[in-house]
Amino acid sequence: MDNGGAIILAVDDSPATLEVISRHLTRAGHVVHTCASVEEAASFLDTTHVDLVITDYKMPKSSGLDLIKYVRENLRDTEIMMVTGYPTIAGAVEAIRDGAGEYLAKPFTGEELLGVVSRILDKQTHRRSAHADHQHLNEYGLLGDCPEMLAVYDLIDKASQTSANVFISGESGTGKELVARAVHYGSDRRASAFVPVNCTAIPDTLLESELFGHVKGAFSGAKESRAGFFEIANGGTIFLDEIGDASPNLQAKLLRVMQSKEFCMVGSSRIRTVDTRIIAATHQDLQQLVKQGLFREDLFYRIHVIEIHLPPLAARGQDILAMVNHFLKKFSQDAGRPAPCLTDEALNSLYQYSWPGNVRELENLIQRLVVIGDGPSIDVTDLPEAMRFSLNRNSFGNKTLAEVEAEHIRHVLAQSRDNKTQAAKILGIDRKTLRGKLKRLGLE
Ligand SMILES: Nc1ncnc2c1ncn2[C@@H]1O[C@H](COP(=O)(O)OP(=O)(O)OP(=O)(O)O)[C@@H](O)[C@H]1O
Ligand SMILES: [Mg+2]
């Protein structure tokens, strides 16, 4: 990656070191400013944008650590690198804890300096472009700020702070996998692996070996030994997706490893211990499966310590509009052209639609509209038949308030799939009031 042209500030009390740093980096095409103290650097940073600060560790007044702290607290987009003649372990640990990603010991060669600097700038470029792609997503990598989603974020925070098992429920396409990732990356396990396992997709014959690995020669075809999912996720998180589809055999094996945290690789009798956080998800009603005898109750209680429920998209109110805008921008950017806008009627239709496929359906729809559309705007007629909202504003024209109310209640009920609690929430009334209205309208 070409990272020439970065703006770099070097801070050191030794003019000789500043001169060396400055010479190498300028030759590599960067713009280099220099300061002789932390205080001078802080006031420079107040007025000038800098991509990277390279600071000495030990200086007469404040130390490099103070500068790191200052940058971390005040400048989100500036990287930091520490240079020191005292490469003590303690100093390094402290620097890394304070957010100095990289560390270079004196004396260094020009090549070493340029190597570290270009590694930092590469990372920064990556982060910046990732940020541009996801500029609307929040810190959880999700969109939406309706009350139901705020409650979800709250649970993600709580779950991140523990290693308790998490169960994520919600219809298909509501973002269960994204939430699982948010829990993992928000936790102190983030440096280890997040391992998604689709419980539907593992054939029973390969089960043991996929989950726990096998040693060389364990069965014909086992030419090499191979780690299983649990071992790969050691220190990290295993995500058991579609747990409702787990075969009885898989359920039994999962239960055993959850109880003991131990397993043996296929073909070996050596007991291995793992520290793996388990997050499970399904779009099915797991409690119902337990009642029907299709899912083990003991396993259900094991995985069901913290439950995070994702509401259907149709119950997220204005979030739909934020998502439409986000996906319009995203897919237009991918296609390299300006984002089309939606007419009010089209937006209204999307807002009223019941979204059985939830966010995934919305995402796919917008992608399709962007790819096939060629005009600057998208109208109702561009939408699939099922989404065209019949009750457009003009048709309110000569209706009574009671008729409009009845129509709207019917619509919201359909949208929440006859879930009265949810419908009442959307309508902003309590269940009892809703029941009264339904009775009067002959809808109950
Ligand atoms: N709140 C959200 N903000 C932005 N994108 C979202 C959100 N929720 C879901 N998505 C997007 O919708 C798609 C479906 O999400 P995801 O795969 O996490 O759903 P799921 O609940 O696991 O679905 P399934 O049950 O079908 O496996 C993904 O492309 C995801 O990026
Ligand atoms: Mg999924």
Centre of ligand 2 to C-alpha 172, Å, is: 7
Cα 267–Cα 202–Cα 240 angle in degrees, nearest 5: 100
What is the structure's pLDDT at 301? Answer: 96
* Atom 23 of ligand 1, nearest CA residue: 173
**Contact (CB, 8 A) for 313 and 364:** no
The CB of 177 under 6 Å from ligand 1? The reply is yes
pLDDT of residue 2: 56
pLDDT confidence band for 395 (50 / 70 / 90)? low
Two tokens at 38?
């932390």
Q: Cβ(148)–Cβ(313) under 8 Å?
A: no
pLDDT in tens, 145-188: 999 999 999 999 999 999 999 999 999 999 999 999 999 999 99
- Domain boundaries 7-133, CATH class: alpha beta
The CATH architecture one would assign to domain 394-441 is Orthogonal Bundle (1.10)
How many helices (H) and strands (E) the chain has is answered by 18, 16
Distance CA 12, CA 16 (A): 9
The H-or-E segment that residue 50 falls in is none
If we measure between CA atoms, which residue out of 26, 24, 22 comes closest to residue 12?
22
The fraction of the chain above a pLDDT of 90, given in percent, is 47
- Give, in words, the CATH class of 147-309: alpha beta
**Which residues face 102 on adjacent strands?**
81
- Ion ligand 2: residue ranges with CB closer than 5 A: 177
Q: Where in the chain are the domains?
A: 7-133, 147-309, 313-389, 394-441
- CATH class name, domain 313-389: mainly alpha
- 316 Cβ closer than 6 Å to some ligand 1 atom: no
Give the ligand with the smallest distance to the CA of 170: 1
- What does the block give as tokens for 322? 């934020």
Residue from 360, 361, 364, 366 whose mutation best tests the ligand 1 pocket (most atoms within 8 A of CB): 360
359 lines ligand 1 (CB under 6 A): yes
Task: Give the pLDDT confidence of 178-225 residue by residue, as tens digits.
Answer: 999 999 999 999 888 899 899 988 888 888 898 999 999 888 888 888
Distance from the alpha carbon of residue 361 to the mean position of ligand 1, in angstroms: 9
Best mutation site among 139, 172, 174 for ligand 1, i.e. most ligand atoms within 8 A of its Cβ? 174
Q: Of residues 296 and 419, which shows the higher confidence score?
A: 296
Our answer on whether the CB atom of 309 is closer than 6 Å to any ligand 1 atom is: no
| Model confidence pLDDT, tens digit, residues 277-333 | 999 999 999 999 999 999 999 999 999 999 999 999 999 988 998 899 999 998 998
Those residues with Cβ within 8 angstroms of residue 420's Cβ, 6 or more apart along the chain or in another chain: 413, 431, 434, 435
Nearest to 199 by CA among 297, 285, 290, 279: 279
Domains 7-133 and 147-309 share a fold: yes
**Among 170, 124, 201, CA closest to 360:** 170
Alpha-carbon span 299 to 296, nearest angstrom: 5
Which amino acid is it at 380? V
All residues at 6 or more sequence positions from 110 whose CB lies less than 8 Å from its CB, including other chains:
20, 24
pLDDT at 143 over 50: yes
User: What pLDDT is recorded for position 392?
Assistant: 46
- The two beta strands, 166-169 and 341-342, are unpaired
Ligand 1 close to Cβ of residue 144 (< 6 A): yes
Beta pairing class for 226-227 and 271-273? unpaired
